[in-house]
């Protein structure tokens, strides 16, 4: 029996011509809710890896585009590439502003780019596609936390940054299964899929912790009495650090796992309407040519 190349023929992955650059220019240094120190540095560190990470995702999927025969999946691959390219561009613009505020995001960008270049040089294309599918599960899981939990959205704080992350979260949810479906369609093995996720779970989390520590060490506010520990306490109680989130990430290792097992269709439709419907809150960020 042939496994279908895509699990949802009706899935749409639109590429939106959008820009947040102008609104991001007034973002303050500690932009998280109530000027929270650690949350601001975590989001800045995440943004730092997005531009070159998204470019890596595009290259990994594009390598196999000609081997995809299902017309629905081919259409979704085109949308995936378009969305990820815009994600990289917009987060780079955000990083440019964060750089002016003193965050070491440009150094993190260079490190991410170099690390991915080394990976692509020495690892087979199938491994890079497996890495993309695994990291897409990370981003989709974090995206769902943002889209479902008001507390998570409130933590982001500054409205311009919240708009950026809401848009990104919506599109990660829209294309959450594309890289996975391409991986399965071209014969990617279960062993490589789960091994890659286990490796990246350790590597990604460790890398992010190191980046946040380096970022905090360069911020004078970190050394104000009690500031760091109070902020760490708030982060530890947040929706982004929970057993449920961890279990959702680890579900990827289930033998019959598929990203669409957890249905987010209604969630995506609701946020599409809220952000880009007739009265969408982000319509003013769209190009007139969109």
Half-sphere exposure for 81 (CA within 13 Å, toward CB): 15
188 located within any domain = yes
Q: Domain limits at 93?
A: 21-283
pLDDT of residue 241: 84
CB atoms within 10 A of CB 248: 17
15 located within any domain = no
Q: Tell me the sheet residues that pair with 286.
A: 18
pLDDT of residue 133: 97
14 located within any domain = no
User: Are 134 and 193 a contacting pair, CB within 8 Å?
Assistant: yes
Q: Using one digit for the tens of pLDDT, what is the confidence trace for 41-85?
A: 999 999 999 999 999 999 999 999 999 999 999 999 999 999 999
CA 57/CA 246 separation, integer angstroms: 23
Burial of 255 (0-12, 13-18, 19+ CB in 10 A): exposed
- C-alpha angle with apex 263: 159 to 1, nearest 5 degrees? 140
99 located within any domain = yes
6 located within any domain = no
Q: What is the mean pLDDT of residues 163-178?
A: 97
Q: Using one digit for the tens of pLDDT, what is the confidence trace for 251-268?
A: 999 998 999 998 999 999
When divided into structural domains, the chain yields a total of 1
Q: Using one digit for the tens of pLDDT, what is the confidence trace for 110-146?
A: 999 999 999 999 999 999 999 999 999 999 999 999 9
9 located within any domain = no
Q: Using one digit for the tens of pLDDT, what is the confidence trace for 197-244?
A: 999 999 999 999 999 999 999 999 999 998 999 999 998 888 888 888
In this predicted structure, the answer to whether residue 1 has a pLDDT above a threshold of 60 is no
Burial of 142 (0-12, 13-18, 19+ CB in 10 A): buried
Minimum mean pLDDT among 4-18, 25-39, 106-120: which range?
4-18
pTM to 2 decimals? 0.92
288 located within any domain = no
CATH number at residue 120: 1.10.620
Q: What is the mean pLDDT of residues 184-206?
A: 94
290 located within any domain = no
């Amino acid at each position: 029996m042939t496994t279908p190349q895509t699990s949802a023929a009706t899935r749409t992955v639109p590429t939106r011509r959008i820009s947040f650059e102008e609104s991001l220019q007034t973002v303050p240094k500690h932009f998280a809710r109530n000027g929270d120190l650690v949350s601001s540095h975590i989001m800045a560190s995440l943004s730092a890896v997005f531009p070159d990470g998204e470019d890596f995702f595009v290259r990994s999927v594009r390598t196999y585009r000609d081997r995809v025969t299902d017309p629905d999946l081919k259409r979704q691959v085109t949308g995936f590439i378009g969305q990820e390219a815009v994600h990289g561009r917009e987060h780079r613009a955000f990083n440019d502003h964060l750089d002016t505020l003193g965050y070491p995001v440009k150094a993190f960008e260079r490190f991410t780019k170099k690390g991915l270049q080394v990976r692509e040089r020495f690892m087979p294309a199938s491994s890079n596609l497996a890495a993309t599918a695994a990291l897409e599960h990370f981003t989709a899981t974090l995206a769902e936390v943002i889209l479902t939990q008001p507390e998570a959205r409130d933590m982001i704080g500054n409205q311009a940054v919240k708009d950026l992350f809401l848009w990104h979260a919506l599109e990660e949810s829209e294309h959450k299964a594309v890289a996975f479906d391409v991986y399965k369609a071209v014969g990617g093995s279960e062993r490589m899929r789960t091994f890659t996720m286990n490796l990246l779970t350790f590597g990604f989390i460790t890398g992010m912790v190191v980046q946040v520590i380096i970022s905090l060490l360069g911020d004078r506010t970190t050394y104000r009495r009690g500031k760091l520990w109070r902020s760490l306490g708030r982060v530890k109680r947040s929706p982004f650090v929970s057993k449920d989130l961890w279990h959702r990430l680890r579900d990827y290792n289930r033998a019959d796992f598929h990203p669409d097992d957890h249905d987010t269709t209604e969630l995506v439709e609701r946020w599409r309407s809220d952000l880009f419907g007739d009265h969408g809150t982000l319509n003013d960020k769209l190009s007139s040519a969109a």
